[in-house]
Amino acid sequence: MTLLLDTHVWLWAVEAPDKLGRRTKALLLKSGNDRLVSAISALEIARLCLDEMIIFSISPKTWIECSARDLHLQHVEVSYAIATEAYSLPDPFHRDPVDRVLVATARSYQATLLTADERILAYNHVKTGDCRS
């Protein structure tokens, strides 16, 4: 199974694993699963650090590198195809550019997007998993 972690799922997996459900924890630990994170999530984490909305004991760059290594995450770039798909999604979808890129990435990689975001979970045009379960 290919999993794409929403930004908050990546953060929770390291900083607050109790927020993740048992099923999600099992999916993240299963060796046969591919675990992806988008470059847009790294950008979002860096912005949250800059705005002091999250504070790590290490630099954001080091946190991103170490957590990706420890969780066996594969980084996915925001390609031209993903960028254009983000604004070509079927049916109405909200305007948040990060959510659009994450949904487009999941669709492009045929991945299950792990999230707690109700708007994404309700969107019928991407495979999702509620990370709280």
Condensed to tens digits (0 to 9), the pLDDT of residues 102-120 reads 999 999 999 999 999 999 9
Sheet holding 34-38, edge to edge: 73-76, 34-38, 2-5, 112-115, 128-130
Condensed to tens digits (0 to 9), the pLDDT of residues 20-61 reads 999 999 999 999 999 999 999 999 999 999 999 999 999 999
Predicted structure pTM score: 0.96
39 token code pair: 């470059």
Is domain 2-130 in CATH 3.20.20.140, yes or no?
Answer: no
